[in-house]
Structure 1
Amino acid sequence: MTTSRTSVVLPGQVLGPASVNDVGTGTHINDNHFYASIAGRVETIASTPKSSTQPIISINRSTGPLLPEVGTVILGKITRTTPRQAAISILALGSTGPHVLKETLPGLIRQQDIRATEIDKVKVNESFRVGDVVRAVVISLGDERSYYLSTAKNELGVVMALSEWGNQMVPVSWKEFLDEKMGVREARKVAKPV
């Protein structure tokens, strides 16, 4: 039996079809698909030729850096938006092999930190929506309440979003996601794939 580790996933992310894998820790099945129940690193325990069982998919909460520093890339979920800023729960630290935090940390993305150009034309509600998963960078340790974050680079912004109807969306440009089931586009500050 061999164990392999792959990417970091967030709760609700699809892990694959249930017909070819067995349920492990931190996962659940819905509509014949595996989903992550918790944030963490995917672990697959492969079956052996002697074993007739399918590979087991689990989620492992790894430990890593405890607190972000200026310049740290984070993954987080938007929890609230106002006309001037978006509140975010920081879930993981690091861009390559992110370390999932055991407890979330509070962050803020201010209107002026969303894009590098045309800052005065940026609208927070057209850049982020509650529930969006965002890649951002820490630009200041902020105050006692929140870290200050920025998405002003091309590779930073929304990496995963659900539509108003709850469907998973795909990015179609630097400023739009598409709900393929409904055929509707929604405005976001889209992160360029890295």
Structure 2
Amino acid sequence: MSSEKLKETGKLCIPGMRLSLSNKEFVSGPGTYELRGYIYATLCGTLKMELDENEVTVVSVESPRTPSILPRTGDIVTAKVTVVNPRMVQCVILCVGSSVLVRPYRGILKKEDIKATEKDRVDPYKCYRPGDVILARVLPMTEIHWYHLSTAENELGVVIATAEGSPQGISMLPISWSEMQCPKTLVKESRKVARVIPENINEALFPVKDNSTTELEIKQDK
């Protein structure tokens, strides 16, 4: 195994992240899948690479075991959008607070729960796209097989998104509370952007810098 790949062992992964080439040297292991010559993560967890008896590197993702944790009403969860239509947004819940789930749970975000204002005029497709990673709050359950979610609060919404046509792995940056831009292609897309605060975001997956507001605070002090 190359020294570069060894350095990557232990890094944090989220579902859909490209981990390695898939060839005679690298094969897909637990927590990953192979697609078009590459290996991708299917879990939130840490990257693991080890040699098997045939001297082939097995690429896998290990996830902390938290079987007793379930989303509860009022919890802030991290979810990945899977389907968007004019009436609702479907997603899979990956984390509850800072705890990574062993298995994902299905969540649903109705049109009227996306924003706090102008609920009848909300266009779900201008707020979320499949593949987006979002923060949402769990609402009281009304169906057995779905967790109902809301992103009506300012702190909730998209935290990670990739623009259509952008290179794999390059996330867009927020330029307003309703728009994000790809730093590579400069393509802009509409999103319901989360105003992320440290106590809501999963620090293990999305680190928050402590000095992010230092410059602003200095200017205010002056």
> Normalized against structure 2, the TM-score is what?
0.63
State the shift of 1:107 in Å: 1.0
3-state SS of the aligned residue for 1:149?
strand
**2: CA distance between counterparts of 1:187 and 1:125?**
8
**2: CA distance between counterparts of 1:81 and 1:12?**
18
**1: CA distance between counterparts of 2:196 and 2:76?**
14
1:94 corresponds to: 96
1:73 corresponds to: 76
1:131 corresponds to: 131
**2: CA distance between counterparts of 1:40 and 1:111?**
27
The one-letter code sitting in structure 2 at the alignment partner of 1:93 is: C
1:117 corresponds to: 117
3-state SS of the aligned residue for 1:163?
coil
3-state SS of the aligned residue for 1:140?
coil
State the shift of 1:11 in Å: 2.5
1:190 corresponds to: 193
1:39 corresponds to: 43
The one-letter code sitting in structure 2 at the alignment partner of 1:62 is: P
State the shift of 1:59 in Å: 4.3
Cα distance, 1:145–1:43 mapped onto 2, change above 3 Å: closer
Contact preservation (8 Å) 1:72, 1:93: no
The one-letter code sitting in structure 1 at the alignment partner of 2:191 is: R
State the shift of 1:142 in Å: 2.7
Question: Which one is further off, 178-187 or 138-147?
Answer: 138-147
Higher strand share: 1
Aligned alpha-carbon RMSD (Å): 3.3
The one-letter code sitting in structure 1 at the alignment partner of 2:187 is: V
**1: CA distance between counterparts of 2:91 and 2:142?**
13
1:82 corresponds to: 85
1:176 corresponds to: 179
2:65 corresponds to: 63
Aligned length: 169
1:155 corresponds to: 155
**1: CA distance between counterparts of 2:100 and 2:131?**
20
Tell me which structure has the larger Cα radius of gyration.
2
2:143 corresponds to: 143
1:71-130 per-residue CA deviation (whole Å, 9 max, x = no partner) reads 12211111111111101111x23223x22332x211110111111122222110100111
Identity of aligned residues (%): 34
**2: CA distance between counterparts of 1:163 and 1:62?**
30
**2: CA distance between counterparts of 1:111 and 1:94?**
22
The one-letter code sitting in structure 1 at the alignment partner of 2:63 is: R
**2: CA distance between counterparts of 1:175 and 1:61?**
33
State the shift of 1:67 in Å: 2.0
